[in-house]
Amino acid sequence: MTLVTAVADAASPDVANAAPMVSFEKVVKRFGGASGQPEFTALDGIDFSVARGSIAGIIGRSGAGKSTLIRLVNGLEKATSGTVVVDGVEVGGLSEDGLRSLRRQVGMIFQHFNLLSSRTAFDNVALPLEIAGVDKAAIKAKVGPLLDLVGLGDKAGRYPSELSGGQKQRVGIARALATDPKLLLSDEATSALDPETTHSILDLLKRINAELGLTVLLITHEMEVVKTVASHVAVIDAGRIVEAGRTFEVYADPRHETTRTLLASSLNLPEWLRNGIKRQPSAGDRALVRLVFFGDTAFKPLTGRLVAELGADVNILAGAIEEIAGEPFGSLVVSYSADPAVMARAQQFYAETGLKTEVLGYVA
């Protein structure tokens, strides 16, 4: 299946009409194959694009091909076939000089921050400028405001060992911004952080995107990250993009099994419940169903009507009202009898009311 992300409706009509910041066309990446080694296809026909000025997420399980995909964007890997275009330039055709210039325009942040432990926060941020041959006065004029921007104006002289994980990532972000990139790549940048720090770093990325107009492409295995910051998402599985579109729509109405699994793991279900989910019901089991409320259904008292429709047999297990890309969105996990007659009544109710639902599985 070939899917192209819906990027045209990103931020504004101007943005929508501009050429994408990143585009992948029929990209295949194979490893091995030389001197009798078995060949491995890590990316298998990727069509994907990221609108200028947007925040886009690529989500997938470990080994799906996320890192390979992102390494093609900054030219650390070369596609076996197909084209990767960044800001109008085909990465595969670049000389060493061209690649160096590309990497100045593409900042990157990492899961483990990749700071030099022997350098202070200031000197870590200064490093890409030193490499680019910028003089000392200009470096000083640039690094101070960058540290202020990421909230570390008072930590310039601290070494990485004296900083928390979140502070280290802020240094990483300031360093990535030092060469005024047009694109920021984020490789699992919040995976080593606790939930609260994760949110503060994601807020910073949102602010940088809004204030500097920087395009952000992030890869992650966490639906929560995508949901919090990305306007668009592509789900990657075994080297293929299996589902893509506006985050809100993919989250509200996941079509592919991989998306559903990633999404279920982001719901705040108690562990005993999550671990007990079966794909097929046995006699006497209950269906575990996610109800999604948005748009017209957002604030209607549909849950009460569902309970009335099915009798008293509805348990509410988890729920939250959130925002995805600024749109209100409610999600409620309920269980009721998996008896076919009850399931059919519920299905009819959903069809009549337009309520989006998803059967997560069955529990005893």
Ligand X SMILES: Nc1ncnc2c1ncn2[C@@H]1O[C@H](COP(=O)(O)OP(=O)(O)OP(=O)(O)O)[C@@H](O)[C@H]1O
Residues making contact with ligand X (CB under 6 A): 31-32, 40, 42, 60, 62-68, 221
Please classify residue 23 by burial: count the beta carbons closer than 10 Å to its beta carbon, then call 0-12 exposed, 13-18 middle and 19+ buried.
buried
Residue 92 CB, nearest approach to ligand X (Å):
17
Residue 78 CB, nearest approach to ligand X (Å):
12
**Which CB atom, from 47 or from 237, has the smaller least distance to ligand X?**
237
Residue 26 CB, nearest approach to ligand X (Å):
18
Query: What's the distance, CA 207 to chain centroid?
Result: 16
Closest CA to 364 of 306, 245, 284: 284
94/82 Cα distance (integer angstroms): 15
Residue 124 CB, nearest approach to ligand X (Å):
24
Query: What's the distance, CA 288 to chain centroid?
Result: 26
233/212 Cα distance (integer angstroms): 21
Residue 31 CB, nearest approach to ligand X (Å):
3
**Which CB atom, from 121 or from 235, has the smaller least distance to ligand X?**
235
Closest CA to 323 of 213, 206, 216: 206
Residue 69 CB, nearest approach to ligand X (Å):
7
**Which CB atom, from 44 or from 358, has the smaller least distance to ligand X?**
44
Sign of CA dihedral 337, 341, 347, 352: negative
Burial readout 295-305 (b: 16 or more C-beta within 10 A, e: otherwise)? eeeeeeebbee
**Which CB atom, from 123 or from 243, has the smaller least distance to ligand X?**
243
Cα–Cα distance list, 47 to 2, 3, 4, 85, 177 (Å): 7, 6, 6, 11, 28
Phi, psi for 165 (deg, rounded to 5): -55, -45
Residue 48 CB, nearest approach to ligand X (Å):
14
**Which CB atom, from 92 or from 151, has the smaller least distance to ligand X?**
92
**Which CB atom, from 146 or from 218, has the smaller least distance to ligand X?**
218
Cα–Cα distance list, 340 to 182, 280, 361 (Å): 54, 13, 14
Sign of CA dihedral 222, 227, 231, 232: positive
Residue 270 CB, nearest approach to ligand X (Å):
26
201/179 Cα distance (integer angstroms): 20
**Which CB atom, from 201 or from 235, has the smaller least distance to ligand X?**
235
**Which CB atom, from 42 or from 325, has the smaller least distance to ligand X?**
42
